[in-house]
Amino acid sequence: MTLDEQITRTGGRPSGFDYLRIGLSCAIVCWHSVVTTYGPDFQDAVQTTGWRALIGMLVPMFFSVSGFLVAGSLERCPSMVSFIGLRVIRIYPALTVMMLFSALVVGPILTAVPLQTYFSDGTFWRYLATATGFIGYELPGLFLDNPNPQRVNGQLWTIPIELFCYIVLAGLAVFSIARRRGMFLLTVVLRWMLAIGIFVLRHGTGADRPPTGMPAILLVICFLTSVAFYLWRDRVRWNARLGIGAGVCSILLMSFPIYGDFVAPVPIAYFTIWLGLCNPPKIAILKRGDYSYAIFLYSYVVQQAYMAIGPAVQHWAINIAVALPTTAVLAALSWHYVESPALRLRKPLKSLEARWIVHRERFLPLVPGVLRPPKRVDPDTMSRQSGSGL
């Protein structure tokens, strides 16, 4: 069975991606319990142990999920208006509310400086720029005595990389490369070689670099590799042996920092897609909404807030026990009162797109191959993503 046949078999809505998103989000919370409880030096030390392989796969798997699902969105969107618009309404409303919650609720309650100083400090205003994609990580006087001091939203370092992935994919679509899958595959290979070359130029062989997570420059390759798997889905087999083998191969490669990272994107992407296309029955929480993006957004500031209580609660198990339920509540509120209402903007977005298409056909030359209209899959199919498109 091919990937395409499995997508069709599941009606275009395999539940595996729902489990993956929520599972990866919760795993990230558990992993961040280490840095928020014991600090970044201890976190780096953990990643020099045998745990490095499993921990190091979490973020690349996120980008692999994003690439495969956003590729489907790209194929279904009639124009770049809807493709970009869907990215915006999925990412920015929840991100903006989380940023305001951190700056206007958590900050004033826990800051060590007077409120007048807090609101007039330039750090406060730079943090507000987080809503634009220019990520700020600190607020005045906040978490000064935490094991990981001053860091408010350390997990947001992936947001600019994710946005860069969307820009790259949109650019490839504009130049019709995203439709010509052979050319796209060649582009990914060249981009991959370029990423390795840039890393080597910057860091040499990497022997003097702490073997922590996969280099950020390779996360884009994980994203693009998954896009390539989507484009070749009618030729790639969906097979349990291949999936499990890819998972084992990924763990082995990630056990060899830097050198293993260079070739890990392919097995990680396939392993992620294989899991995502599985279709076990959904549990109740997955039927209520997609809480994974907001769990990712709120978890770090919640963990830091609890750790600000003092040494009595600064233990990784306590961190998880108190932060995960609190984050889940905030995530549910975010989905039902921010993210889900924001998705209703799809209707006016479609109207705007229709007017744009008419205008384009009248006044602009059509660019062949840019964003094909839907063929077999319903426009809403596989559309509820966690921070990674619709």
**Could you tell me the pLDDT band of residue 81, with boundaries at 50, 70 and 90?**
confident
**Could you tell me the pLDDT band of residue 50, with boundaries at 50, 70 and 90?**
confident
**Backbone angles phi and psi of 237, in degrees to 5:** -80, 140
Q: Where are the domains of the chain?
A: 3-363
CA 150, chain centre distance (Å): 23
Q: Please state the rounded mean pLDDT for residues 20-47.
A: 92
Burial readout 189-206 (b: 16 or more C-beta within 10 A, e: otherwise): eebbeebbeebeeeeeeb
> Residue 319 has which token pair?
């961190």
The CA distance from 370 to 80, in Å, is 8
The whole-number pLDDT of residue 377 equals 44
Q: What percent of the chain lies above the pLDDT cut of 90?
A: 62
**Could you tell me the pLDDT band of residue 371, with boundaries at 50, 70 and 90?**
very low
DSSP three-state, residue 257: coil
Per-residue pLDDT reduced to its tens digit, 281-335: 988 888 888 999 999 999 999 999 999 999 888 999 999 999 999 999 999 999 9
**Average pLDDT of the chain to the nearest whole number:** 87
Least confident range of 73-87, 132-146, 271-285, 366-380: 366-380
Decide if pLDDT at 374 tops 70: no
The whole-number pLDDT of residue 209 equals 54
Q: Is 254 left (phi over 0), alpha (psi -120 to 50) or beta?
A: alpha
The whole-number pLDDT of residue 349 equals 86
Per-residue pLDDT reduced to its tens digit, 336-364: 999 999 999 988 888 888 887 777 666 65
Per-residue pLDDT reduced to its tens digit, 224-277: 999 999 999 999 999 999 999 999 999 999 988 888 888 999 999 999 999 999
Decide if pLDDT at 79 tops 50: yes
| Widest pairwise Cα distance in the chain | 68
The whole-number pLDDT of residue 312 equals 86
Q: Taking the CA of residue 379 as centre, how many other CA atoms within 13 Å lie in the half-sphere pointing to its CB?
A: 11
Decide if pLDDT at 279 tops 60: yes
Decide if pLDDT at 280 tops 70: yes
Beta partners for 131? none
Sign of CA dihedral 343, 349, 351, 354: negative
pTM here?
A: 0.88
Site of tokens 């026990």: 321
Least confident range of 94-98, 128-132, 207-211, 242-246: 207-211
Decide if pLDDT at 140 tops 70: yes
Decide if pLDDT at 373 tops 60: no
Decide if pLDDT at 375 tops 50: no
> Residue 281 has which token pair?
């029955």
The CA distance from 304 to 37, in Å, is 8
Q: How are the residues of the chain apportioned to helix, strand and coil, as percentages rounded to the nearest 5? A: 70, 0, 30
Decide if pLDDT at 380 tops 50: no
